[in-house]
Structure 1
Amino acid sequence: DDTNWPSILALIAAKRLANRVWILKPALLNNGQHIHLFESLDDIAKHFKQSKRLGGTHVLQHYLTPHLLRDNRKYSIRCFMVLTSHAQAYLYPTGYMNVAKTPYSADLTALSAHLTNEHLFEQQTNVIQIPSSQFSWYPTLLPHIKRVLSTLSQQLMHHYTQAFCTKNPLKWAIFGMDFMLDNTQHLWLLEANHGPCFPSARHHPLQAYVYDGFWCAFIKQFIDKDLQLTKQESLIAL
């Protein structure tokens, strides 16, 4: 944030992690707003010393590169996870790909080629969204996705025990979990979105393939146990 960034950069330098590309993201914004890519810690320091920049809490991450491209474009994988206050975690197995419209470029200032956020500039769409069911290789990723999310949820329940208590009324949260593959096809969790987009328009291209099924599965799991669903529309316990 505005006060601790010097110590964070010093810690990174001390661990000899400086020779990497970094991505800086505001913690509480979406749609790619105020995201920056940097080639060095010095560039990050120069950014924080500017007067005309967004303040507040940010997330600094190692920028995953080289990544696996499809048709010379970056893409990320979005899945939905439900976490409850009763120490339960579920994955909806059908997700979708956010494929960048702009071909990949090594130029870090070309954000539309590097970021797979749905929107970057006002209402202009930055990606093409394709249901995971259209990719024959997606089922091979599901065990890896489940393993990552299971480990993550277990760690959350271990470190934040006060948030998970079966004696209290059931509460739940839906997260959009974003993954990416590097050029060795290793799966990486990029981020957890605490306010994922759920379009209500019937004409949205993912409505019939992803969102309708997710909400039916959610209702069956938490509201109406008698709702009849196909196997593909069920939440998977992690």
Structure 2
Amino acid sequence: MTASLRNSPAIHWTLFPNPNASSQVPQIGLPKPAFFPCSRRGLPFLVKAELTPAASTSTRQDRLGRRQVLSVGPITTWVSLLYSTSSSFAAEAKKGFLTVVDKKDGYSFLYPFGWQEVVIEGQDKVFKDVIEPLESVSVNMVPTIKQDIRDLGSPQEVAQALIKKVLVPPSQKSKLVEATEHDVDGKTYYTFEFVAQASNFTRHALGAISIGNGKFYTITTGANERRWGKMKDKLNTVIDSFKIFNV
């Protein structure tokens, strides 16, 4: 029941309207190990006013100094409360994750706190762990004239074709573990799990695909097989969080 993007006219002409465009779709492959500097986030600060007493300080200057200190106090409190409120709100949204909302292309998802954004040609968004380079999430889109992901085939057929043609380089062995279908707010998503084996590592990965805004969306995330047990819950959170909205 497997199908190939290369051999299926329905998939070929809807994902790649240009007959020559299929060869131009970038191999998403596994990212090469790389290290990137971690950015530091701003910390809450306190505003403090100090007055240096002079030998001939007047009573009026003393009163002015006291007013400056008193006026700074509420500012300090306001800044601290503002920072505290923002942090609490973010934590309540999903502890340990940050949110990406792309209002231009119409999608959103969560990624683990600490992953850094990097630029990879052919990908719309990529975030990865700087210590474990196989732990990453990427989003890609190609035009399509189809309105629903089910028009391309079953979850197993579409996932298998995508893995073989786009997500895994020809030099690696791949295996589709499972593929399922679910609806969110009236939109159909296919989610799937697969394994890609290279000569020196094995990557366990998850993906989700859907159609909207005239585009075929793909999000993939994964980790080294040796860390799959530790990372699978986080990676499932990333995939389950992926949503498409109209733009």
Scaled by the length of structure 1, what TM-score is found?
0.20
Which has the larger Rg?
2
